[in-house]
Amino acid sequence: MFFRYSVLSIALLSAFNLHASEQQIERVTVQGDFRQQNIQQLAGSVVILSEQEMQRQSAQHLDDVLKQFANVNFAAGASRGRFIQIRGIGERSEFIDVVNPSVGILIDGIDYAGLGISSVAHPEQLEVFRGPEATRFGTNALAGMLNFTSKNPVFSPEGQLSATVANYNSQQLSGYYSAPLSEQVAFSLTLDQALSDGFIENAFLQRDDTNNIDEFTGRFKLSWLPSEHLQLGLIAHLIDQQNGYDAFSLDQNRVTLSDEPGEDNLRSKALALTFAYQEFAAVDLQGQISYLNAQSDYGFDEDWSYRGIHPWEYSYQDRYLRSREQSSLDYRLVSKPAAQLWNNTDWVLGVYASSRDLTLNRIRRAESEMRLFDSQLQRNNLSVYAETTSALTEQLSMVLGGRVEQYSDDYQDVAGISLTPDATMWGAKISLNYQVNSQAMIYGLVSRGYKVGGINGEALAKADDGDFALLATKASFAPETVVNAELGVKGSSLDQRLLTRVAAFYMWRNDMQVKGWINPDLGPEFAGFIDNAASGRNYGIEMENRYQAHAALQLFVNVGYLRSKLGQYVTDGGLDLTGRDQAHAPRVSFSIGADWFLNEQWSLQAGVQGRSSFYYSDGHNAKAAASEQVNLRLNYQVAQWQIAAWLRNAFDEETGVRGFYFGNDPRDEYAPKVYEQFAEPRRFGVTASYSF
């Protein structure tokens, strides 16, 4: 408690002592908000990473990037981390039941929630919004939002080629190029191919590539300026991921015994049309129409072993083939100064609509018996939103926003179950922002977020089985809401050597959605479902600091402190978890880094990222151990060339990214224990880049 209030007090005192200056403050623009504005003047806890900042940690995938953010975590259970938690809120897996993520993902404004970010090569920037953002993003932002922007077209030719070789037979080749096609048209193209054996040895098959990485990503943007007041854009994405999935070991290490390794394949295509019309005297008209089609094939060896391992063995394999087709539109009017309503008030008014068709074909082999499950879900969303920003005085402003969203589902499955739930939900935000001087701002806000409910298809399918009769009461789960109260400080020193952002928050979760499991006889037959706990509490502090200690030395410190509590919740197995920390919610997270410019050619970058221990699930008490990872990068720059030797996880720390607690090893009579999937081990490599 003392730690939390001390940090916030220091930040507040610092803000009042940051004297005004004519010197230009740093301009880092948030692109995901309604109006692009300086991050230091935006109320809310937002973090931005540029391409250069991602290179500091030699990041090759989103997993590497997320470790730099305070109070942000992720879960794997696949070849990559795909499920994100912010301030302790977020999902950890998706099997039969359709999951609406608490943390959404946008790539160039296209909804990739649940699919993840396949490549972070050559970004414009990555933004992380922490806390409910319902007014801006709707149901996908109960806990926050990741907004990834790829390289925007420019009207002067530029580009870069990069090649990486690393241990575990890893290679990566990526490139970016932007150029004008005419005085009004320009394009940008980003291509990335990543290959690796993965970090697993399969002792039974005597292979080291059963958990391999094979990912191609292409992103294209076209910008057309047909007139002074009209800008049109085309966005196209292609992802082709052919990854293996063989991550869990009966011996609880990186050596597996699977005779039928799984896969984690994804192929998606997306298109978007954007426009911005600025000829009206009072308002600007902005909009985007997008379409995405994705097919995934995710499967695994359920027994994690081979036939003949033990007389009590079993041999199961599970596979999920999903198809997703979605379209969306987002139109908004953004006021100009001439259209202010009253008392210097700017405003935004918009409408959002989306349609999503989801199909699942589950193929499960239990010994020689094939068990099939098919389901279809069509979900339609329609919402209207508005936001106003009013200048109450020269220093004090108020932001008031809200969104009303209606969703309807049409669910059918192979068991003949047909359900059509629907609901109307709302979110809101109010903040008061006090500009102490040109370099410091204090804000206070209250926001409300929401997430849709859903249907437990697996529970309905197994409810007729006597061992799973309890599932008849778990047919559906209710929407979840959260209220967030936040106090923050953003400021910089007079000479711009110190920049700091601090936010303290308290969140009330109602009808919080939790994952439950039923395993009647502790054997291989089990069923999952989503349930609602009564309530939850999440509160803490997050802080980002940058300090220019010397002309050649820059320091970075990001720290998060989080406390979370489950409300009244007793699992169906009788385990009382009331008051316990929520899953994937480490109490402490930090990232400390330094950039040291040795001379004009050489620079050294070092960083340490860490997490305290945390629970893997809201259904058992298994925990991930605390971890710290050290990363190093030595750069040599000459003319247009840069060569970097890098080392990630220098001390080969074992970091858990997904965990289960149950019995799966016939050699010890299926005694329950913790099984973990680990993040990558020690990685080292060389990256060469050429800019032109």
- pLDDT single digits (tens) 424-442: 999 999 999 999 998 999 9
Letter for the amino acid at 538? Answer: N
Taking alpha carbons only, the member of 350, 375, 353 closest to residue 362 is: 375
Q: Is the dihedral of CA 617, 618, 623, 627 positive or negative?
A: positive
Exposed / middle / buried, residue 350 (Cβ in 10 Å: 0-12, 13-18, 19+): buried
If one counts every other C-beta atom within 10 angstroms of the C-beta of residue 639, the result is 8
Residue 470 has pLDDT above 70, yes or no: no
pLDDT at 595: 95
Residue 389: exposed, middle, or buried by beta-carbon count in 10 A (0-12, 13-18, 19+)? buried
The pLDDT of residue 3: 43
Given this model, what pLDDT does residue 455 score? 83
Residue type, 531: D
Dihedral sign, Cα of residue 31, residue 35, residue 40, residue 42:
negative
**Chain segment 345-373, per-residue pLDDT in tens:** 899 999 999 999 999 999 999 999 999 99
Q: pLDDT-based confidence at 682, cuts 50/70/90? A: very high
Q: What is the pLDDT of residue 4?
A: 45
Among 325-334, 364-373, 409-418, 525-534, the range scoring the smallest mean pLDDT is 525-534
Residue 685: pLDDT above 50?
yes
DSSP 496: S
Q: Where are the beta strands (DSSP E) in 468-526?
A: 476-477, 480-492, 498-510, 513-518
- Res 249 pLDDT > 50: yes
Identify the DSSP state of 668.
G
User: In terms of Cα–Cα distance, which of 59, 162, 169 is closest to 687?
Assistant: 162
| CA–CA gap between residue 279 and residue 285 (Å, rounded) | 9
**Confidence grade of residue 13 (pLDDT, cut at 50, 70, 90):** very low
Pairing outcome for strands 418-419 and 641-648: unpaired
Residue 52 has what pLDDT? 84
Cβ 111 vs Cβ 424: under 8 Å: no
Whole-number pLDDT of residue 6: 47
- Quick one: pLDDT at residue 18? 45
- Tell me what percent of the chain is helix, strand and coil, each rounded to the nearest 5: 10, 55, 35
What is the pLDDT averaged over residues 302-316? 96
pLDDT at residue 14 tops 60: no
Examine the pLDDT at 141 and tell me if it is beyond 60: yes
Residues with Cβ within 8 Å of 384's Cβ and at least 6 positions away in sequence, in order, are 349, 350, 351, 352, 403, 404
What's the pLDDT at 251? 96
As given in the structure block, the two tokens for residue 655 are 């970091």
DSSP conformational letter for 253: S
What pLDDT, on the 0 to 100 scale, is given for residue 340? 59
Provide the 10 A C-beta neighbour count for residue 627: 19
CB 377 within 8 A of CB 358: yes
Average pLDDT over residues 442-468: 83
Model confidence at 475, pLDDT cuts 50, 70, 90, reads confident
User: What percent of the chain clears pLDDT 70, i.e. is strictly above it?
Assistant: 93
Instruction: Pull the structure tokens for residue 490.
Output: 């953003």
- Predicted confidence band of residue 314 (pLDDT cuts 50, 70, 90): very high
Cβ contacts of 523 within 8 Å, gap of 6 or more: 314, 670
CA 460/CA 411 separation, integer angstroms = 12
Residues 6+ apart with CB under 8 A from 24: none
Domain ranges in the chain are: 2-691
Which amino acid belongs to residue 681? P
Proportion of the chain above pLDDT 90, given as a percent: 74
Confidence of residue 343 (pLDDT cuts 50, 70, 90): low
Q: Residue 591: its pLDDT value, please?
A: 96
φ, ψ for residue 12, nearest 5 deg? -65, -45
Which own/partner pairs from 240-243 qualify as long-range (CB within 8 Å, at least 24 positions apart)? 240/215, 240/216, 240/266, 240/267, 241/79, 241/118, 241/214, 241/215, 241/216, 241/265, 241/266, 241/267, 242/214, 242/215, 243/79, 243/80, 243/211, 243/212, 243/213, 243/214, 243/215
Helix H, strand E, coil C: the string for 58-92 is CCCCHHHHHCCCCCEEEECCCCCCCEEEECCECCC
* Overall pTM surpassing 0.75 (yes/no): yes
Residue type, 635: N
For residue 474, what pLDDT is reported? 77
Look at residue 5 and tell me whether its pLDDT is greater than 60.
no
Secondary structure (3-state) at 438: coil
pLDDT score at 342: 63
Distance of alpha carbon 499 from its chain centroid, rounded? 25
Averaged over 465-487, what is the pLDDT?
A: 82
User: For tokens 């981390």, what's the residue?
Assistant: 81
Residue 111 contacts residue 354 (beta carbons within 8 Å):
yes
CA distances from 317 to 77, 305, 369, 432 (A): 15, 11, 11, 55
Nearest to 71 by CA among 45, 53, 48: 45
Find the range with the poorest average confidence among 58-62, 141-145, 192-196, 582-586.
58-62
DSSP strands (E only) in 68-169: 72-75, 83-86, 103-107, 110-111, 123-130, 144-150, 158-166
Name the CA dihedral angle for 683, 684, 686, 687, rounded to a multiple of 10 degrees. 30
Q: CB neighbours of 133 closer than 8 A, spacing ≥ 6? A: 44, 141, 144, 145, 429, 447, 449
What average pLDDT is seen over the chain? 91
Phi, psi of 326 (to 5 degrees): -140, 150
Query: What's the pLDDT at 523?
Result: 60
The Cα 323–Cα 376 span in angstroms is: 10
Tokens 């916030």 correspond to 8
Count of Cβ atoms closer than 10 Å to residue 395 Cβ: 12
- Per-residue model confidence (pLDDT) at position 22: 38
**Farthest CA pair distance, the chain:** 80
State the pairing for strand pair 103-107/144-150: parallel
Residue bearing the bigger pLDDT, 14 or 69: 69
Topology adopted by domain 2-691: Maltoporin; Chain A (2.40.170)
Q: What is the pLDDT of residues 482-527, one digit of tens each?
A: 999 999 999 999 888 999 999 999 999 999 888 777 766 656 677 7
Nearest to 411 by CA among 400, 398, 423, 420: 420
Backbone angles phi, psi at 438, to 5 degrees: -70, -10
* CA nearest to 408, candidates 453, 372, 444: 453
Q: Give the separation between CA 33 and CA 42, rounded to whole angstroms.
A: 9
Q: Name 342's Cβ contacts closer than 8 Å, sequence gap at least 6.
A: none
